[in-house]
A = this chain, B = another copy of it.
Amino acid sequence: MELQFLGTSSGTPSRARNVSGLALRATGSKHWYLVDCGEGTQHRILRTNFSPISLRAIFITHIHGDHCYGLPGLLASAGLLNRAEPLLIAGPPAVERFVRGVMDSTELRLPYQVEFSAVEPGWSLATLPDFRIEAAELSHRVPSFAFSFVEKSVERRLDIARLERDGIASGPGWGQLQRGEDIALPDCRVARSADYLLPGRRQRKVIVAGDNDTPSLLAAQARDAHVLVHEATYTEEVLQKVGPGPQHSSARATAAFAEEAGIPNLILTHFSPRYQQQGNGGATMADIEAEARFAYSGNLFLASDLQRYTLDRQGKLAALPLPNGA
């Protein structure tokens, strides 16, 4: 599985960080998915290997502008590229009102179908390629959700030792067994596929959360998750100053939850623009990182724009080098 961040700032873009957007793809798949689409997401896509043509669906965590104002422009550009395949947009019901309203008031006509799926507590979707997607309700000023991307199928592996012990010679029959077919052996025995497949590995699961002031709402989803992508808008000190009104999480709160839930990989994102990469006396990303590391002993990442990650079959998450010109 591959993830690429298209925006990692909260509220407003900065020169270094755009507002929220995350691309997700099963390695080798021709489809990809987008979670959130802040203004300028299509501009970021221009700097990746993703295309508005092969985008299969967009998931919007909540209706705040920094998570959805890039939708109309992305839809329009996909139209100018002559996209023909339908595009699914899943999100709280306000998302459909927003998109249809803009299409209507700005006379935006598209050469493809836009389909909407209203996300409400308990929502899940099993009909897309590569992933089953489940929503979990969060706590924010407007309805906000996390989307879990669960790998649909894992590769089947043969129990070679048992095949050899049972005297089943390698050949086309092995392939049939691996594909789930039973085979007749030369000595008239029947070899049943189920007897020769090793137990499948755990399906990979990545949770991408929207804005949320209560990470523990993800406790149930987190139990078998490999990766959590979650906001860490402020350090705890700034959050206390700002007060609970904006309903965001601190790096400490997010990290402490991930630690308690035993999530092996945590990617923080959605940083307040006040945190600079290098500060001259002001708040820096190092403050966020230090606070999270103190509370979390797993693999911690602080997302930056265009940063790519791969999650291998063993559930190991790794950051890839930034592409040239990024």
Contact = CB atoms under 8 A, between A and B. Distances in A.
Interface of A: 11-15, 18-19, 38-40, 42-43, 46-47, 63-66, 68-70, 72-73, 76-77, 80-81, 94, 97-98, 101-102, 104-108, 141-142
26 contacts: A11-B76, A11-B77, A12-B42, A12-B76, A12-B77, A12-B80, A13-B43, A13-B77, A18-B43, A19-B73, A38-B73, A39-B72, A39-B73, A40-B43, A43-B43, A65-B73, A65-B76, A66-B76, A69-B102, A69-B106, A94-B107, A97-B105, A101-B101, A102-B102, A107-B141, A107-B142
A11 B80 contact: yes
Contacts of A15: 46-47
Tell me the number of copies of this protein.
Answer: 2
A210 B106 CA distance: 15
Nearest to A52: B12
Interface centre among A13, A65, A81, A108 (most CB of B within 10 A): A65
B13 A65 contact: no
A107 B63 CA distance: 8
Contacts of A70: 39
Contacts of A12: 42, 76-77, 80-81
A212 B13 CA distance: 32
